[in-house]
Amino acid sequence: MTDEQLLRYSRHILLDEVGIEGQERILAAHALIIGAGGLGSPAALYLASAGVGRITLVDGDVVDLTNLQRQIAHTTARVGRPKVESAAEAMAAINPGVQITALAARADAAMLDGLVREASVVLDCSDNYATRHAVNAACVRHGRPLVAGAVIRFDAQITVLDPRTARSPCYACIFPPDADFEEAHCSTLGVFAPLVGVLGAMQAAEALKLLAGMGQSLAGRLLMLDGRSMQWSSMRVQRAPDCPVCSAQ
């Protein structure tokens, strides 16, 4: 670690749970972030500021004026540009020492298969059910820990899905892929802006804990926040023995 890095990351190094060894693990890691919107913005900024050595950001959307109420990696001047380029610019401004790969594309199964294989940790910051299941399937297949978050209106949830742990469920154990429900979108239902900041920052925190090898992750727990009352609730989640995704792993 260089003198500049020792200074930049000194507040992490001062933590006994992180120290120089933990920070070095963070510097050597590769985080894959799916989505550069409300959740992806704070997650990407915090992972870059913390010194994750390589960050791959995937999103096929462009910055829209309606995004700026909550997607803090973007600015008015960057409306119309690909979100991944806008976020990469913000991340590089915070920490030019991070290697950022910006992929302006919608993540499909074929792309995810290659990207997840190369990642140390995956953050699902997407906004649709199909992508969440595709990300989960790739993480199960390649044994990569997944930090999954979601926010709509005043409701938020976060969990860690770690296929390296025998008892940890996958996303499909909790939310079956064949479930019949009406998908909610913030474009029609709205979203309370600070909640995506809270959840995106928590996703970054869980990812950093996994990378540094410290603390206890949210694996096996689904944490939920009601933004109206600011009340947290937690429920235990278990691996489904008949899960079509992870039961054969």
Catalytically annotated residue among 125, 139, 186, 243: 186
| Structural tokens at position 242 | 């008949």
DSSP string, 97-164: TSEEEEE-S---HHHHHHHHHH-SEEEE--SSHHHHHHHHHHHHHHT--EEEEEEEBTEEEEEEE-TT
d(CA 175, CA 184): 15
Spatial separation of the C-alpha atoms in residues 172 and 195, rounded to whole Å: 24
Q: Does 246 qualify as catalytic in the annotation?
A: no
Kindly state the helix (H) or strand (E) to which residue 242 belongs, with its residue range.
Answer: none
Longest dimension (CA), the chain: 55
Q: How far apart are CA 53 and CA 150, in angstroms?
A: 25
Which amino acids are annotated catalytic? 186
